Amino acid sequence: MRRRLRRLLKSFVEKVILMKERHGIIGGLFSRLSMALFMAGRTACMAQVKDISSVELMQRIKAKRAGLILDVRSPQEYAEGHIPGAINIPYKQLGSRLAEIASHKNKEIVLYCRSGGCAGIAANTLRAEGFCKLLHLAGDMNGWRSNGSLPVKHSNGQAC
């Protein structure tokens, strides 16, 4: 859909430029307007990723309204302990595995890694693909664990 929108906007811009050439200044005004619309469409998902606290995420998990929780660490780190309900797609694989989370494109997605760097890379990847409702777990997994009272699930299914 994004490609189709880009083609439509490009076609529109080309027509406006033609109109400018034929009709002078009035066309120029339309040209500026169309360029502004084009740029707005390109940056629609460049909004800042908001932080969510560990406590707020746990409240959402308990209320069954956490949305998708995406752990972007390695499978080994995920197996050693993750947030209950989280799925694991390592940030390096995210671009090739977008189909797995496509149904969440217009829903909130909570991202986390060990300490924040990889979650930022993952957020950029997702925003470039049109995922706009991104939240970052403040403190990431290190912060979650340091709380001491929040559950950590291990690959064997046990939570501690």
Q: What is the pLDDT of residue 48?
A: 81
Q: What is the pLDDT of residue 39?
A: 47
Among 132, 140, 84, smallest CA distance to 114 is for 140
Task: Specify whether 55 is located in the same domain as 133.
Answer: yes
Rounded to whole angstroms, the Cα distance separating 146 from 152 reads 11
Q: What is the pLDDT of residues 145-160, one digit of tens each?
A: 999 999 999 986 555 5
CATH number of the structural domain spanning residue 116: 3.40.250.10
Task: Specify whether 24 is located in the same domain as 59.
Answer: no
Residue 129 lies in a domain: yes
Residue 101 has pLDDT above 90, yes or no: yes
Task: Specify whether 132 is located in the same domain as 74.
Answer: yes
How many structural domains is the chain composed of? 2
Q: Which domain holds residue 14?
A: 2-42
Task: Specify whether 22 is located in the same domain as 59.
Answer: no
Across 6-53, the runs of DSSP E, i.e. the strands, are 50-52
Task: Specify whether 85 is located in the same domain as 29.
Answer: no
Task: Specify whether 63 is located in the same domain as 123.
Answer: yes
Task: Specify whether 92 is located in the same domain as 34.
Answer: no
**Dihedral sign of CA atoms 144, 88, 69, 133 in order:** positive
Residue 37 has pLDDT above 50, yes or no: no
Q: Mind telling me the catalytic residues?
A: 113
Q: What is the pLDDT of residue 52?
A: 97
Q: What is the pLDDT of residues 63-96, one digit of tens each?
A: 999 999 999 999 999 999 999 999 999 999 999 9
Task: Specify whether 74 is located in the same domain as 126.
Answer: yes
Q: What is the pLDDT of residue 2?
A: 58
Q: What is the pLDDT of residue 43?
A: 46
pTM surpassing 0.85?
no
Residue 22 corresponds to which tokens in the numbers above?
A: 């034929």
Residue 104 lies in a domain: yes
Q: What is the pLDDT of residues 103-131, one digit of tens each?
A: 999 999 999 999 999 999 999 999 999 99
Residue 157 corresponds to which tokens in the numbers above?
A: 């299914």
User: Chain centroid to CA 149: how far?
Assistant: 28
Q: Strands 109-112 and 87-88: what pairing?
A: unpaired
Task: Specify whether 92 is located in the same domain as 55.
Answer: yes
